[in-house]
Amino acid sequence: MEILAFGVQADEKPLIEKAFEGHHDVRCLSVFLSEDTAPIAAGYEIVSTSVNASLDHRVLQTLAAGGTQMIAQRSTGFNNIDLEVAERLGLTVARVSYYSPYSVAEFAWTLAMAVNRRIVRASNRTRDFDFRLDGLMGRDLRGRTVGVLGTGKIGEAFTRIAHGFGMNLLGWDVAENPACVALGMKYVEKDRLLAEADLVSLHVPLLPATRRIIDAAALGTMKDDAILVNSSRGGLVDTDALVTELRAGRFAGVGLDVYEAEAGLFFLDKSLEIVEDDTLARLVTFPNVVVTSHQAYYTEDAVGQIIDTTVQNVLDYTAGRRGENVLVPRTA
């Protein structure tokens, strides 16, 4: 059987091909699955997709009409898939429920330190042999307060690093993580966390209850010189409201690895095009903002685990087994 994999990065292609070797053939495409590209999947029983694929009812109907029966998503998040429609069409859907939490947690700290210590500005200056320190002053993190929204596996890994810095730990989640409590984390209401934290990092999934959890009111609660980091999902932050606050001169720094409207932009080269997204265009102009293109997960370790799990999900499907990563089970 040949599997069609959409949205495969150049670095991923040899890893995916090697992982499937001896099991199934795989055809890797760099294009992302969307309404325009879905017809390519005609004749493929199994399709593998990336986090920025669009699997709404139109795409799923096209896949099902073309003979696709199984979707193996190479990510933990699945808010891009209409699971109800998939079930109605008889499509099996699986995801990657776990990969290295350290990849994302460490990158979140990379963003935090980059904006705190003005690394991007300093690097750009030294390329021009400008070695002044004006405007590059940061702050020690030791003794300051970090607020972690979402203390699951990634949030816990982020908290352990914060503990190593000697920070005061505040957490917010639907349930307390005993490992974080053991590190000294104090769980508080979200508004208190936002009001007291010098650094806020987001590690909650994107759900209806968390969409734009950082809205205008939440941003208004934060300290004027706070740092905000989002390495989870773009939809957690009301970006227009964030731009409004930044224009008012608020926040010491903002590090974003994700963006509300990143689909159709992130993972693609748009350098020779006019980007029509005015919000993103304004966002990247602020000197205290660093935007990266959803790369927090992108380490050899994490990508290797994602691919290995995807292969196992496919093998479970072809063997008629229901694995632990199945979101919509096989109906026949």
- pLDDT tens sequence across 45-72: 999 999 889 899 999 999 999 999 999 9
Cα 64 off chain centre by: 28
More confident site: 35 or 77: 35
Does the reported pTM lie above 0.85? yes
List phi, psi (to 5°) of 192: -65, -40
Say what the pLDDT of residue 332 is.
60
H helices present in 8-53, as ranges:
13-20
Complete DSSP assignment for 55-100 = B-HHHHHHHHHTT--EEEESSS--TTB-HHHHHHTT-EEE------
Q: What is the mean pLDDT of the chain?
A: 95
> Which one from 118, 233, 245, 260 is the annotated catalytic residue?
233
The DSSP symbol for 214 reads: B
Complete DSSP assignment for 138-191 = ----TTSEEEEE--SHHHHHHHHHHHHHT-EEEEE-SS--HHHHHTT-EE--HH
Q: Over pLDDT 90: what percentage of the chain? A: 91
> With bands split at pLDDT 50, 70 and 90, how would you rate the model's confidence at 100?
very high
Question: In sequence order, which residues have a C-beta less than 8 Å from that of residue 235 and are 6 or more positions away?
Answer: 79, 206, 211, 212, 260
* Catalytic residue check, 262: yes
> Which one from 12, 156, 196, 262 is the annotated catalytic residue?
262
Say what the pLDDT of residue 221 is.
98
The DSSP symbol for 300 reads: H
Say what the pLDDT of residue 109 is.
98
